[in-house]
Structures are given as structure tokens and as C-alpha cells.
Structure 1
Amino acid sequence: MMLAAVVACGTIATAGPLQASETPFIKAVAATPPPTGAKSLCVNYSWACASSRSNSLPREQELRIVNAVNKRVNRSTRAVTDESQYRKKDKWALPTRRGGDCEDFALLKKRELMQMGLDPSKLLLATVLDTDRNSHAVLVYRSSYGDLVLDNLTNKIKPWKATRYLFLRMQNPNRPGSWVGVSNS
């Protein structure tokens, strides 16, 4: 039996043993359009759609960096809705001085992690329904342990299954400029 998560770094939550039918990685099932607010993401932020593979850092160093960036962005960025900031229902952008909403947090985390040397192919933006079934965006870190979720609602980095979110779509792991629908099993 495989473990679903990592216990290194202290704030990476464990999900217990995986069942034989579960996978530590989110499975892409079909091409899908990007979220409405992300249609011009690659034009506005070409780095957010980078697919070039870079040299990998040692696993434990990568986990420390991911944990530190997740906490720092969560602590230093104020939550502000797109409606109050842009008078739009959904706009994917980096946080402003006023702050940002969930996808803005995810974008900032992705940019900072790439700047710190993480392979962009391991950092995928994803949309989910949270436990109250509200639309939400997170950053998926495709680690050697499985897909881990960086979320602005918690400093704990969790395996995707442990979030209890319903994953809807994410950037295509092979071509981040496009999006894929995903399977939650």
C-alpha cells in the first residue's frame, strides 16, 4: 500500500494509505476550454503557460521551497474579490497592492516557485468546487509523492484527494497553455 502524502516539512498533511483504485495524481480525461477569466492567461502571463522542463531540485529542498512560498503568499496577500477590484466576475491576474482572489494567489505562487527554480511542468493551475461547492482555484504541485495542493484557504499543503474538493479542470500537464477536464477517482 502506498502513502498518499509526505510527512517531511511539517505542514504537509497526510491522507493515510491509498486504496488500490486511487492514484496520487489527478487524471486528465479530455480537453476542455479554460475558465472564463483565464482565456487570455497565456497572453498576459506567458510564464504561466511555460512547459519547458528545468533541472529538478532535490526533493526535500523542493518541498521546503513549496511550503515556504505557500505560507508567505497566504500571509502577505489580502483576499479581495474580482468584483470589488475590477468590477468583473472573474479575472485571472497577479494580486495588486489591494490583494487578490484565489486564482490570483495561485498565479503568484506559481510565479514565485518558478523564479526559485521549480520546474514549471510541475506547477498546474486548477479549478475546483470547495467543500461548500463554491468555485475555487488552487495550484497543484506535481511532486514525486503525487499531486499536492497549495491553497490560499490553508497553509497546509495536502494531497489532492485529502482536500475533499471536487476537481473540475486543470492546466494540461503536457501543454500548460491548454486545459483538461479531470477525473476525481
Structure 2
Amino acid sequence: MRIAFSKLCVARPRKALNLLAGLALTGLFLAAPARTEAQTHAALPAASLSALTTGPARPIAAWAEFCERYAGECAVDRTEPAVITLTPALWQTINGINRRINRAVEAVTDLDHWRAADRWDLAEDGRGDCEDFQLLKRRLLVDAGLPRRAMRMTVVIDEKGEGHAVLTLITSRGDLVLDNKTNAILPWTQTGYTFVKRESQDAVGWVALGRDASPLTAANR
């Protein structure tokens, strides 16, 4: 399946913040007081199902190019935990980073941003499309102590029938999805998306996903 990413994640553009150059922004986001998130998000999500992987899948070409530029972002350390054991403190950290990046990054297409049909990047300049949001979130979550191996870039078909990228957190409460279209962190079965493939946890590559969640099946679960 060939998935076009050129129209991704521009439905809700946000005013860009002047993010600090490079990864100096990491400290900004982790240290920023959560004034607008007065709720603590301390209540953990209900346990849910994990997605099934069904074998190797073809990597996204733009992901492979990203990995050439940022090899460390794609490396798989099999000594890391494959599952995040959620605690109230970790849940609060995950929610805080998810909301801050959704608010801080301006949604633009790769064509407008890079004059390219599809390019994966870290949104370090405060602009990007969906995969850029998720890659930056993962970078900050890794800096906060979460295992990269348990946070996998994932390709889905969205409610418009278009390709979309989200970040799947493989947790003790099931597979949870970080998305730039919403601040809600949902179990994968409740997103309404059809899940196609995600990064492997065991090697630098991708795996296909089974038991797809579509708008119909998600509504009935």
C-alpha cells in the first residue's frame, strides 16, 4: 500500500511559537509550568487491547531518509523495556508534553514547509506536519526517561481516508495514541483510524498491524 502524506495534519493550524534552536527547546518544554493544564491527569486510562503485528512491512521512504539524518532517533535498543509501565507521574508527563507540542507547533504541509512531497523531521523550527509533531514528542518523552523502544511511529488511514502518522505508546494499559489532531490520548481502538503499520520494536524497520480499528469497528467497541 502506497500512502500519500502530502496533505497531512493541516486541518487545525496553530500560531507558531519561536522555539529555541536545536534541542535547547527540550528544557523549555519539560520545565515549563503547566498553568493551562490545571488538571493533573493523575487518573490512569482504563486497560485496553494491544494491536497485533503480522509481519514485516515496507518502510516509509521519507522515514528512511529521516533515519539517515537522525540515526539515533531510529535506533532500536533491545535492552530497553518494550512496554511502558504507566504510573500517575508518567501519565502526567506524557499528557503535558503531548499538549504542549500540539499547541506550540504550527501545522504546515511538507510542500509549504520544505518544497517536498514528503519529509520527516523533528519540527525544531516550530513548524511541521503530523509525523514531525510525533517525532518531536518522542524526543522529549525520551529525554524525560521513557524508553524509545516502547514508542513507535505509526501509519494510519484517518477519518478522511488519507494517510496520517501518530505515535503509539505501548504501555501496561494497552496501546495508546498521541495525535496532533486532538489532545486526548486514546486507546488505538477508539481513534476511529485504520491502523496500517508501525516501527518495529526489534529492529530498524516496520511491521504490519492486524485487527484494524476503523470508524465502524471503533464505534462498536
Q: Match for 1:179 among 206, 209, 218?
A: 206
Instruction: Give, in angstroms, the shift of residue 150 of structure 1.
Output: 0.2
Tell whether the 8 Å contact from 1:54 to 1:118 is kept in structure 2 after alignment: no
Runs of 4+ that moved beyond 3 A: 10-14, 53-58
SS in 2 for 1:48: helix
Q: Partner residue of 1:72?
A: 100
Report how far residue 30 of structure 1 moved.
1.6
1:11–1:156 contact (8 Å) kept in structure 2:
no
**Alignment deviations for residues 126-147 of structure 1 (CA, whole Å, 9 cap, x no partner):** 0101111111000001111000
Question: Residue 162 of structure 1: CA displacement?
Answer: 0.3
* 1:51–1:60 CA distance, 2 compared to 1 (3 A): farther
1:129 to 157, 163, 170: 157
Q: Which has a greater percent of strand?
A: 1
The alignment's TM-score, normalised by the length of structure 2, stands at 0.70
Q: Does 1:9 align with 2:37?
A: no
Q: Which residue of 2 aligns with 1:114?
A: 142
In structure 2, C-alpha distance between the alignment counterparts of 1:162 and 1:82, rounded to whole Å: 28
Q: Secondary structure of 2:201's match?
A: coil
Write the deviation string for residues 136-174 of structure 1: whole angstroms up to 9, x where unpaired. Answer: 000001111000000000000000000010011100122
Q: Which residue of 2 aligns with 1:37?
A: 62
Q: Where does structure 1 lack aligned partners over 5 or more consecutive residues?
A: 1-7, 19-23
Q: State the partner residue of 2:8.
A: none
Give secondary structure in 2 for the equivalent of 1:154.
coil
Instruction: Kindly provide the amino acid, as one letter, of the partner of residue 180 in structure 1.
Output: V
How far apart are residue 59 of structure 1 and its match? 2.1
Alpha-carbon separation, structure 2, partners of 1:184 and 1:68: 30
**Percent identity, aligned pairs only?**
32
Could you tell me whether the CA contact under 8 Å between 1:27 and 1:182 is conserved in 2? yes
Once residues 10 and 163 of structure 1 are traced to their aligned partners in structure 2, the CA distance between those partners, rounded to angstroms, is 21
Cα-Cα RMSD: 2.3
CA distance in 1, matches of 2:67, 2:140: 17
Partner of 1:154: 182
| Contact persistence 2:86–2:171 (CA under 8 A) | no
Decide whether the 8 Å contact of 1:12 with 1:156 is kept in 2: no
Which structure has the greater CA radius of gyration?
A: 2
SS of equivalent to 1:40: helix
- Structure 2 Cα separation of the partners of residues 42 and 114 of structure 1: 17
Which structure 2 segments of 5+ residues have no match? 1-39, 213-221
Asked if 1 retains the 8 angstrom alpha-carbon contact of 2:153 and 2:168, the reply is: yes
Residue 50 of structure 2 aligns with an amino acid whose one-letter code is F
Query: Which amino acid counterpart does residue 165 of structure 1 have in structure 2?
Result: Y
Give the deviation of 1:54 after TM superposition. 4.4
The number of aligned residues is 170
- Inter-partner Cα distance in structure 1 for 2:58 and 2:44: 31
State TM-score, norm by structure 1.
Answer: 0.83
CA distance in 2, matches of 1:39, 1:46: 10
1:81 corresponding residue in structure 2: 109
Matched, 1:168 2:178: no
